[in-house]
Amino acid sequence: MENTPKQHLDLIAEMIQTARREYNDSSNIYLLWGWVVSIASILQFILIQMHHEGMSGIGWVVLIPAALIAQIVMMMKMRKKEKVQTHIDTIMGYLWTAFGVSLGIVLFSQGKLQENTFPMVLMLYGIGTFVSGGAIQFRALIIGGICCWVVAIACFFVPVQYQLLLLALAVIAAYIIPGYLLKIRYKKNV
């Protein structure tokens, strides 16, 4: 039995929709990192304000390793469920790997970057969310990426302790809000 052109187009549309549904399930990763970064940022700001500079990075030291472990577990579960590897999945894998390597370089260079560290981090957040939003055609991530870039510019003009609050604000706009919206969109499509 021969397939018609309309059947081919329907099959392609269904495959694209399946890929989008599977990717949208990763909303938990955006929520994880959004909450971790915002909590660690706000905690560091509070500790600096209370003159506990020596302990101000404790939130990062505790939360980041825990979040990395949680992300690895989530990714392993997602891979087990994954039926097909789409081009979008491959691109997203390369994008977020490049993000992680670049973020590592920025954080490793923090001593040289000094007060420019958070703006650099925010530029990387902007790239990751903007490209991800474009790849899955999700406007909230695109807007979140743009917000990160605007906040990165603002960070160049404020003292580092206030950059922490701007960082928290940016991840709320770029990760937390889009994460919850992705979760809602995913539940509608399932």
Q: Which of 67, 162, 160, 174 is nearest to 122 (CA)?
A: 174
Q: Three-class SS of residue 83?
A: coil
**Could you read off the pLDDT of 127-165 as tens digits, one per residue?**
999 999 999 889 999 999 999 999 999 999 999 999 999
**Mean of the per-residue pLDDT values for the chain?**
88
Give how far the C-alpha of residue 5 lies from the chain's centroid of Cα atoms, to the nearest Å: 38
pTM for the full predicted model: 0.83
Rg (the chain; Cα; Å): 19
Q: Do residues 134 and 97 touch, judged by C-beta distance below 8 A?
A: no
Q: Which of 5-19, 70-84, 92-106 has the highest mean pLDDT?
A: 92-106
Instruction: For residue 126, give its domain range.
Output: 5-189
- Is residue 9 over pLDDT 90? no
Number of domains in the chain: 1
pLDDT tens-place string over residues 18-68: 555 555 467 999 999 999 999 999 999 999 999 998 888 899 999 999 999
Structure tokens at 178: 């889009």
In the predicted structure, residue 190 carries a pLDDT above the cut 90: no
